[in-house]
Structure formats: structure tokens, C-alpha cells
């Protein structure tokens, strides 16, 4: 029996057009873009430059602001540790939210173990930060704030424009992990007051192993990966030309259909939620209003979480949280006030470009059958 894939926030399938765009750069146009002494190297460098310029246009920034990385995790580390290392004389205080991805929380905790003071703000039951509480938490010595654009588990969209304004008026650098939002909504980091913006290719139907950090003018993080001086000295290492071309092509395709896609997936998400609520004992996790259109996260009453997910995976590819959590209880759902048992009995549905109404209806039937079995 085929498995219905509804875990597009963990990763997306690489679009065939993206695969086609990358194909020549594996074995035909394979040269090192740093080899400027011959034509093949210059052709590879030109492909990188074109991709960088195209991505910059989508983001509303200058090309030199786009630094390629291996993904959002590396971009987060370069942003957080690099900014703090470069500006350590300006302050010792760091601020983030309890619902951040571990690729943000762990670098911050690393810095907290090396002499910096970290404040991890709680969120409200709907997953949104209280802006008054956020403002009160800012200090004269706050060096960096990191707040993700869209949550990877509950899809909640934080009020970045308001957060950016509060940081800007205090002269505090703002970083945002945008892996879940880029390619799904139009976003211009500079207009939101974001100084450092991380993104990843495999969340928007591009290849794994490629991402970028967008750096505002006047921000100069210290490099965290030293080598041959690539990427303006910020990220040493031979550039993966096929992956960079794939990231650019994925972003281009996403810019063409994101409005239609989000409208369609939002309708399918609402259809899924309505069907699940009819089963009884189902509650939504996180705000519905301030949320990615392709995300749904619910908790189910009266069942054991492990048994629930074992029953579902016979036919559905869904998750109980982040793909990076290695099966540990969701810290995001705990931050919303859920007990470990309720968090374990929660399901994240990540809808995607291939998702159909028939798959949504099937998902409701599969969950219904699992609940009937587990509730006896």
C-alpha cells in the first residue's frame, strides 16, 4: 500500500525542473568556480553569480548580501556565533523564544556556556510572543535577538515587522531562521528590520545540502568556517555549483506559484482540520490565523502517542514534531503548555505542492481508523 506523504515541512521532493537545471553542472559544466584562469572555471563562476543575483532579487537585497551555505543550520550558526564573535564588545545579552528550532537554540546555548547571558522567552498558548513582554526583555547590553519567521512544527508566524522595529530602535541585531517561510510567502528581510536571514533549499522543492545567509549592510559576522576565502571570506570551501543552481531554480519556481499554492493548500488544510475535528477529541496546536497555509498541528485526546504514530505510518507519512528532534518530546509543544503525553499524541501535517483533496480525505479516514482502533 502506497504511503501518502504529508510531511513537507521536514523536506520537499526536488522539483523535476530543478533536477534538470542542475544536471549539466554535475559532469559537463563541472569546473571549480574559483578557477578563474580558464574558461570552464569562469563559466561555473558565472552560473554562481547568476544564481546569487536571482536570489537577491527575490529577497529584495543586493547580490553581495547573499552568502551560500550548506543549509539553514550552517547559516544559523554563522549568523549567531559569527555576529556575537564580531560584536562581543557591544554587549553580553542574547534573546530568543522557547519555540525556536534547535539549530538556533543550540548555538545560543553554546554561547551561554562561554560567558554570554541568554534569555529564552516563553510564548503564549497560541505560540505567538507577547510583544510587551518581548520589549521588556530587551536590555541595554542585548547584542542579538533571534526569532524564526515561521515555526517548523506549528507553522506559527511571529510578528517580525514589530519585532524588527523594536530591535532597530534599540540598535540590536535581529536574526531570523526563515527556512520554513522562504518560497512559501514573499519576504524581504530588509523591510522587516531583519539583519541576518537564514534559508534552505530543501524546504522549497530544491536540493538538500544548500542554503544561504542574507546579511544586511553594515553587519559583518566573523567567519565560522575558514579555508580558501570563498564567499567574501565568510565561508571557506569549494562552492557546490549544481546545488546553488538548484536553489536558484527552486526559488524562481516558488515565486511563480506561491500565492496560488498557498491559497490552494490553505483550503486543503482547512478541509483537513474540519474533517479531523469531526472525529472528536481533537484540538489545534498553535494559532490558526497567524500560520503557514500548508501547516496543521493537532493533539488527539484519549490515545497513546507512540501507538497512534505506529498506526498512522502504515499509510501516512506525518510527524510528531521536528525531523531534527530524534524522537525526543517536542520542546515547541511543551512551550505551548502541552504535557509530554499530549505532545506525544500530536500530529504535524505538512501539505505540499503535490497534495490533493483525495489525499486529504484519505488522511482523515486513516486517522479515524486509528482512533477507532486505539480508543476501542
Give the catalytic positions in this structure. Answer: 324
Query: In terms of C-beta density within 10 A (0-12 exposed, 13-18 middle, 19 or more buried), how is residue 200 classed?
Result: buried
Q: What CA–CA distance (Å, rounded) separates 121 from 108? A: 13
User: In 3D, which of 199, 196, 192, 182 has the Cα closest to residue 252?
Assistant: 182
Question: Would you tell me how many other CB atoms lie within 10 Å of the CB of residue 20?
Answer: 11
DSSP assignments along 188-201, one per residue = -GGGGT-SEEEEEG
Q: What CA–CA distance (Å, rounded) separates 19 from 13? A: 10
Cβ-proximal residues to 116 (8 Å cutoff; 6+ apart), any chain: 84, 92, 93, 94, 143
Please answer whether residues 177 and 76 qualify as being in contact, where contact means their C-beta atoms are separated by less than 8 angstroms: yes
Q: Quick one: which H or E segment has residue 234?
A: none
3-class secondary-structure state, position 348: strand
Q: What CA–CA distance (Å, rounded) separates 254 from 265? A: 14
Q: Quick one: which H or E segment has residue 296?
A: strand 295-300
Q: What CA–CA distance (Å, rounded) separates 30 from 32? A: 7
Cβ-proximal residues to 258 (8 Å cutoff; 6+ apart), any chain: 183, 184, 185, 186
Buried b (16+ CB within 10 A) or exposed e, 250-274: bbbbbeeebeebbebbbebbeebbe
3-class secondary-structure state, position 67: strand
Amino acid at each position: 500500500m502506497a504511503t501518502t506523504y504529508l510531511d513537507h515541512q521536514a523536506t520537499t521532493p526536488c522539483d523535476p525542473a530543478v533536477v534538470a537545471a542542475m544536471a549539466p553542472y554535475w559532469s559537463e559544466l563541472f569546473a571549480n568556480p574559483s578557477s578563474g584562469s580558464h574558461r570552464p572555471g569562469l563559466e561555473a563562476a558565472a552560473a554562481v553569480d547568476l544564481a546569487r543575483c536571482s536570489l537577491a532579487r527575490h529577497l529584495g537585497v543586493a547580490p553581495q548580501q547573499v552568502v551560500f551555505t550548506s543549509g539553514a543550520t550552517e547559516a544559523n550558526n554563522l549568523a549567531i556565533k559569527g555576529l556575537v564573535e564580531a560584536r562581543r564588545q557591544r554587549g553580553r545579552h542574547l534573546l530568543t523564544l522557547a519555540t525556536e528550532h534547535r539549530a538556533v537554540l543550540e548555538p545560543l546555548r553554546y554561547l551561554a556556556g562561554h560567558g554570554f547571558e541568554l534569555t529564552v522567552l516563553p510564548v503564549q498558548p497560541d505560540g505567538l510572543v507577547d510583544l510587551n513582554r518581548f520589549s521588556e526583555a530587551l536590555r541595554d547590553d542585548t547584542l542579538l535577538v533571534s526569532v524564526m519567521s515561521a515555526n517548523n512544527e506549528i507553522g506559527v508566524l511571529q510578528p517580525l515587522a514589530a519585532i524588527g522595529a523594536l530591535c532597530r530602535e534599540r540598535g540590536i541585531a535581529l536574526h531570523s531562521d526563515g527556512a520554513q517561510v522562504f518560497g512559501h510567502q514573499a519576504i524581504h528581510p530588509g523591510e522587516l528590520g531583519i539583519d541576518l536571514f537564514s534559508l534552505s533549499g530543501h524546504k522549497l522543492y530544491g536540493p538538500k545540502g544548500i542554503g544561504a545567509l542574507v546579511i544586511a549592510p553594515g553587519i559583518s559576522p566573523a567567519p565560522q568556517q575558514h579555508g580558501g576565502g570563498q564567499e567574501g571570506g565568510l565561508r571557506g570551501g569549494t562552492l557546490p555549483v549544481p546545488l546553488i543552481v538548484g536553489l536558484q531554480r527552486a526559488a524562481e519556481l516558488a515565486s511563480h506559484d506561491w500565492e496560488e499554492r498557498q491559497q490552494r493548500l490553505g483550503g486543503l488544510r482547512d478541509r483537513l482540520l474540519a474533517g479531523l475535528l469531526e472525529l472528536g477529541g481533537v484540538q489545534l496546536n498553535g494559532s490558526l490565523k497567524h500560520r503557514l497555509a500548508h501547516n496543521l498541528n493537532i493533539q488527539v485526546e484519549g490515545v497513546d502517542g507512540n501507538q497512534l504514530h505506529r498506526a498512522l505510518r502504515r499509510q501516512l507519512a506525518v510527524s510528531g514534531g521536528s525531523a531534527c528532534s530524534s524522537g525526543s518530546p517536542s520542546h515547541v509543544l511543551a512551550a505551548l503548555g502541552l504535557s509530554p503525553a499530549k505532545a506525544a499524541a500530536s500530529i504535524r501535517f505538512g501539505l505540499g505542492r503535490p497534495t490533493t483533496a483525495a489525499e486529504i480525505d484519505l488522511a482523515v479516514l486513516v486517522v479515524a481508523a486509528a482512533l477507532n482502533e486505539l480508543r476501542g
